[in-house]
Amino acid sequence: LPPLVQVKNLKKYFSVDDKKLKAVDGLNLDIFPGETVGLVGESGCGKSTAGRTIIRLYEPTEGEVLYNGKNIYSNNQKEMAKLRRDIQMIFQDPYASLNPRMTVEEIIGEPFAIHRTLSGKKKKERIKELLKLVGLDPEHISRFPHEFSGGQRQRIGIARALALDPKFIVCDEPISALDVSIQAQVVNLLKELQQRMGLTYLFIAHDLSMVKYISDRILVMYLGNMVELTTSDSLYNDPLHPYTKALLSAVPIPDPEIKRDRIVLTGDVPSPIDPPSGCVFRTRCPAAMEICSKVKPEWQEVKPGHFTACHLYTL
């Protein structure tokens, strides 16, 4: 199958005073139907900006995003309105993203009103169905967000995102604000819904702990740049890039037989307004060499389907 979403040389710069903040500095990614791609990096690495630009909540500085082969940035308003049904977003903070004065019925029903697809009794029935689908009690349709727990509120956000039968959902750290005990439940729900509805996900996370369980492939970003991309399994079993290795070393391993040395990165993430020359990771890289400050490492396929940008692997 051809990719559902193709991201081509995507750049998103913001102007800060007279300078450019390079939030996303060249993203290339194909996302296939039914697949989940994890997008991982520390806060400020540009992953949320990437997610928002990919669904055109932001206009790009450069590059293209093809959805079903068509560049979404050249869509007119009517085409965009149609696309807004196919493409949805689930947000990090389920409380901040739900209007506290609206009932669950109004919140989940909003997309039907905006796109004028359902109204009246049919709408109410569909909202109840959606509540059931995400594991909530349809009898709670008249309640307000504060009457639900954090995990339940995220389920409301998911129900709203599903209202218009989307194809592609950008999940922007949907579990980061939840208790660890609840995180697995929400991840399992997302997986179940994916199977049932044939959804495709871009799943954004700030660390590698839960993203493994939902992602088919994972892309690691650092300071607006792509660092490594491969299947979940090979990223966990055979990480190549020093940054990925450091992120992985922070993930607790349940199996005591497997030992991983903790790699603690020193120093702060540099400002994306003034990124380091050469490799953007070099100021914190334990393996940095002379060439790393002079030449930006190229993105290359080191093993079949396993890509990275690092001079350690320059062929």
- Binding residues for ligand SF4, rule: CB under 6 A, are 241-242, 279, 281-282, 285, 287-289, 292, 297, 310-312
Name which of 96 and 287 has its Cβ closer to ligand SF4: 287
Query: For strand 168-172 and strand 200-205, is the pairing parallel, antiparallel, or unpaired?
Result: parallel
The one of Mg ion, ligand SF4, none whose footprint includes residue 48, by CB under 5 to 8 A per kind, is: Mg ion
Three-class SS string for 94-153? CCCCCCCCCCHHHHHHHHHHHCCCCCHHHHHHHHHHHHHHCCCCHHHCCCCHHHCCHHHH
Say how far apart CA 220 and CA 146 lie, in whole Å.
Answer: 35
Q: How far is the CB of 204 from ligand SF4 (least distance, A)?
A: 22
Q: How far is the CB of 239 from ligand SF4 (least distance, A)?
A: 12
The one of ligand SF4, Mg ion, none whose footprint includes residue 295, by CB under 5 to 8 A per kind, is: none
Q: How far is the CB of 263 from ligand SF4 (least distance, A)?
A: 12
The one of Mg ion, ligand SF4, none whose footprint includes residue 96, by CB under 5 to 8 A per kind, is: none
Name which of 12 and 311 has its Cβ closer to ligand SF4: 311
The one of ligand SF4, Mg ion, none whose footprint includes residue 41, by CB under 5 to 8 A per kind, is: none
The one of ligand SF4, Mg ion, none whose footprint includes residue 288, by CB under 5 to 8 A per kind, is: ligand SF4
Q: How far is the CB of 43 from ligand SF4 (least distance, A)?
A: 20
Name which of 57 and 81 has its Cβ closer to Mg ion: 57
State phi, psi for 17 to the nearest 5 degrees: 50, -125
Residue of 238, 84, 132 whose CA lies nearest to 228: 238
Name which of 44 and 111 has its Cβ closer to ligand SF4: 44
Name which of 6 and 48 has its Cβ closer to Mg ion: 48
Decide if 113 contacts 166 (C-beta within 8 A).
no
Is the sign of the CA dihedral 123, 124, 125, 130 positive or negative? positive
The one of Mg ion, ligand SF4, none whose footprint includes residue 281, by CB under 5 to 8 A per kind, is: ligand SF4
Instruction: Tell me which residue has tokens 């909202």.
Output: 127
Cα-trace Rg, the chain: 20
User: Can you count the helices (H) and strands (E) in the chain?
Assistant: 9, 12
Burial of 52 (0-12, 13-18, 19+ CB in 10 A): middle
Q: How far is the CB of 283 from ligand SF4 (least distance, A)?
A: 8
